[in-house]
């Protein structure tokens, strides 16, 4: 299961990096063309869509890495039995939300049938808005792939607080340097 999760994480990383590179190219092109007086009519619309796509696919990557918003300190304060129940409840709520988002996203795609971008009338709004149900499904897959790790942490010593760990890592080198002065 870990190999599948690593492969899945890598795919999401490549997609997110590709979107980031593409968005960077679009932004630079927009700037350069505007600077020489040849503004691109599609620039603003495509840049906005690219940012949305990066946000949605990036959130699926964050979910795959367990880096989305959480409250590990609160859950860790619970006794092991309640910790497991809280973790399961939290996962059920997250997965339930993204199931609802995927279903609603597909309904929105049906409503958008025949509509196109304003600046690029050959591009369907269904293509641009497909990011909603697709990324919701990717988020669900990420959560399901992490579920064994989440259950093991809930049954064991608890969840790692990534924010606290990062904060302590930045403080410790400063403390060591301060002690040497």
pLDDT in tens, the chain (181 residues): 788 999 999 999 999 999 999 999 999 999 999 999 998 889 889 999 999 999 999 999 999 988 877 777 777 788 878 888 888 998 999 999 999 999 999 999 999 998 988 889 899 999 999 999 999 999 999 999 999 988 888 887 766 666 666 677 777 666 656 655 5
Q: Which two tokens stand for residue 110?
A: 């049906």
Give the C-alpha separation, 171 to 61, whole Å: 27
Token match 């795919």: residue?
11
pLDDT at 49: 94
Beta bridge partners of 116: 124
pLDDT at 74: 78
Chain centre distance of CA 152: 23
120-153 CB burial, b ≥16 within 10 A, e <16: eeebbbbebbbbbbbbbbbbbbbbebbeeebeeb
Give the C-alpha separation, 140 to 137, whole Å: 5
pLDDT at 164: 63
pLDDT at 175: 60
């Amino acid at each position: 299961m870990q190999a599948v999760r690593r492969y899945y994480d890598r795919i999401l990383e490549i997609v997110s990096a590709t979107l980031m590179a593409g968005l960077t190219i679009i932004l630079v092109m927009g700037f350069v063309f505007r600077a020489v007086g040849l503004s691109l009519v599609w620039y603003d619309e495509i840049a906005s869509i690219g940012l949305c796509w990066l946000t949605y696919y990036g959130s699926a990557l964050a979910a795959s890495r367990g880096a989305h918003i959480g409250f590990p300190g609160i859950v860790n304060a619970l006794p092991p039995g309640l910790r497991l129940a809280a973790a399961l409840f939290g996962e059920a709520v997250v997965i339930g939300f993204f199931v609802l988002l995927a279903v609603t996203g597909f309904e929105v795609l049906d409503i958008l049938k025949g509509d196109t971008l304003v600046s690029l009338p050959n591009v369907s709004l269904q293509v641009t808005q497909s990011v909603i149900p697709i990324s919701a499904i990717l988020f669900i897959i990420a959560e399901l792939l992490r579920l064994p790790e989440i259950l093991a942490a809930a049954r064991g010593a608890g969840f790692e607080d990534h924010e606290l760990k990062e904060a302590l890592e930045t403080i410790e080198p400063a403390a060591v340097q301060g002690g040497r002065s």
